[in-house]
Copies of this chain bind each other. A is one copy, B any other.
Amino acid sequence: MKYSQLHTKTNKTGKEYDSVNATYLINGGFIDQTMAGVYTFLPLGLRVLRKIEQIVRQEMDTIGVEVMMPTLSPKSLWEQTGRLDIIDVLMKTAGANHRSLSKSTQEYIINCTHEEVVTPIAKQFNPSYRDFPFAYYQIQSKFRNEARAKSGLLRGREFRMKDLYSFHVSEQDLEDYYQQSKEVYRRVFKRLGLGSDTYVVRASGGDFTDNYSHEFQTRCESGEDEVFYAAQSEVAFNKEIAPSQAPEFDQSGEQPAERREVEGEGIVGAEALAKHLDIPIEKTTKTILFEADDGRLIAAAVRGEYDINEEKLRKVAGCSGLRLASAERVKQVTGAEVGYAGIIGLPDEVAVYLDDSLAGRVNFESGANRTNYHIINVNFGRDLPEPSRFYDIKMALAGDYFPETSEQYEVFRAAEVGNIFPLYTKFSDAFGYTFTDQQGKQQPVYMGSYGIGTSRVMGVLVEKFHDEHGIIWPEQVAPFKVQLVSLAGGESLAEWLHDQLQANQVEVLWDDRQLGAGEKLADADLIGCPIRLVTSAKNGNQVELKRRDEAEAQLLAHHRVCAAVS
């Protein structure tokens, strides 16, 4: 294909966007931003997206059958699962003007996921145990009402996604398929060139199970997630659920000192407090009061440098939901304004959960439960009873250890390129989807869902594979295998090569523009096809071949080029 037939152009201004992928994809003419988080895939970008999606499709075909569900669905389906009011990125349609509204005032849901659509379809067609297991999948655009879209293709309001839904006669069969899907996903990311940097990461299984879901996270500085990886154990966790053991705070030899109250008016945050009290932050204690859904008042405390992980606390406390206690409730219970709660002297009605980072400390600080005051030199067993139990209720921090093996986590940023999620019977229950077993009895259907963000993968690929000149596409997803650059005097050889390569099924982009060498070579680097060929008067009948990921070029006789790049 000729560059002039793309009818898009590279942007020479070198404008920088908020991420590498946005900068190179926009400046390279792969995508165009229609608005924040919403892009047009231009001819070059569409070619890359298609290749990514074709790899995903080929692998999904081994475990499911492709369908195409609609973007719109009736609200009634979402009422049935209770998610109409829950999903915080859900969008609906409405007539855009008076004329449209006079035709119809009906509103529809714009699907951000398809459990509500796929479950009734499966129920309709597959009522018998003989029909199981099976899975439907699709690759299409999805929509989320994001407050802030950012980082190019990494977080969009409109984005491309593969979603697959599996159906099973038992939890065991779901589990087997779930494990199989992990292997298929590993193959997908390997084929996409992301295999070595993509981790299977445990994440929350949602509020209906204590089990994990799993995210496929590609190590990537622009990623939104933080991964805690225990390398020896080959186990990775999303920060949001990572079990953690705090680094030990060495106080060997320190003797209990005299406890006393210290004034600390208006000091916000553990760091400021530690400075004010002139103690290490590890001696401070963060105590937060929550109200549980069951009405209980809960005090949770962590070492000063940590935050409470509400999800962990919720599970430890055995309640279905938590919210911060109101300022009035805090005052009523502690006798103090918010900010001075501590673990000494709380009334019995408060259930206290202490994080294990609090264990073994000498002379630590606690809020005084008195406005403007803190207590220092507190010690368990003297100033309050030795706790019978500590819990892990902290949000993990870099430097923490994996409790099971006490190995220190490797912590890195990552972009979630896929996730797999055991849904159990949540959606089949909502739609009354049971199957008839061999004894003729109705049994619950188990489900799983499995996503891959195909446009995000495109962004992640650029984040991973680039240098200061532009993108370095892995061959399997490159828009073209070869970018053929004809400089002055090299036009007719280029035309011959272009035809030769096409006849040999080699995908080639011929930069046929009448521009200077500098500009054309810079564009080839920016666009990033794996192989660059240059013809010119200087090279005569020879062709310069340079791989995008190598520094050195070589000169080849023109009749040897086809064989060299095929």
Which positions in A face B, CB cutoff 8 Å? 5-9, 29, 32, 34-35, 38-43, 46, 49, 65-74, 78, 84-100, 102-104, 108-110, 117, 121-122, 124-126, 131, 134, 136, 141, 143, 145-147, 157-158
A109-B96 contact given A7-B136, A131-B7, CB 8 Å threshold: yes
C-alpha spacing A104/B49, complex, angstroms: 28
Q: Is the CB of A100 within 8 A of B72?
A: no
Contacts of A43 in B (CB 8 A): 65-67
Q: Is the CB of A34 within 8 A of B74?
A: yes
Among residues of B, the one whose C-beta sits closest to the C-beta of A141 is B71
Q: Is the CB of B95 within 8 A of A100?
A: no
C-alpha spacing A9/B134, complex, angstroms: 14
Contacts of A73 in B (CB 8 A): 34-35, 38
Q: Is the CB of B84 within 8 A of A143?
A: no
Q: Among the listed B42, B74, B85, B125, which residue makes an inter-chain contact with A35, where contact means beta carbons less than 8 Å apart?
A: B74
Q: Is the CB of B71 within 8 A of A158?
A: yes
Q: Among the listed B41, B99, B141, which residue makes an inter-chain contact with A87, where contact means beta carbons less than 8 Å apart?
A: B99
A39-B97 contact given A117-B34, A134-B7, A145-B103, CB 8 Å threshold: no
Among residues of B, the one whose C-beta sits closest to the C-beta of A156 is B70
A125-B66 contact given A99-B88, A110-B93, CB 8 Å threshold: no
A32-B121, A39-B70, A87-B99 known; 5 new pairs, CB 8 Å cut-off, are: A7-B125, A43-B65, A91-B96, A93-B110, A141-B141
Contacts of A6 in B (CB 8 A): 65
A70-B158 contact given A90-B96, A97-B84, A104-B146, CB 8 Å threshold: yes
A145-B95 contact given A32-B124, A72-B38, CB 8 Å threshold: yes
Q: Among the listed B5, B40, B125, which residue makes an inter-chain contact with A68, where contact means beta carbons less than 8 Å apart?
A: B40
C-alpha spacing A95/B84, complex, angstroms: 11
* A to B CB contacts below 8 Å, 14 in the list: A5-B65, A40-B69, A43-B65, A49-B68, A71-B143, A85-B99, A86-B99, A91-B93, A91-B94, A91-B96, A92-B94, A93-B93, A96-B145, A141-B141
Contacts of A40 in B (CB 8 A): 67-70, 117, 121
Contacts of A100 in B (CB 8 A): 87-91, 145
C-alpha spacing A566/B88, complex, angstroms: 53
C-alpha spacing A87/B103, complex, angstroms: 11
Among residues of B, the one whose C-beta sits closest to the C-beta of A103 is B147
Q: Among the listed B29, B41, B93, B122, which residue makes an inter-chain contact with A92, where contact means beta carbons less than 8 Å apart?
A: B93
Q: Which of A65, A85, A87, A100 has the most CB of B within 10 A?
A: A100
Q: Is the CB of A65 within 8 A of B7?
A: yes
Contacts of A109 in B (CB 8 A): 96
Contacts of A8 in B (CB 8 A): 125
Minimum C-beta distance from A523 to chain B (A): 14
The 9 closest A-B pairs by CB, nearest first: A88-B99, A90-B96, A92-B96, A41-B68, A103-B147, A7-B134, A85-B97, A91-B93, A40-B69
Contacts of A146 in B (CB 8 A): 103-104
C-alpha spacing A35/B117, complex, angstroms: 10
Q: Is the CB of B72 within 8 A of A157?
A: yes
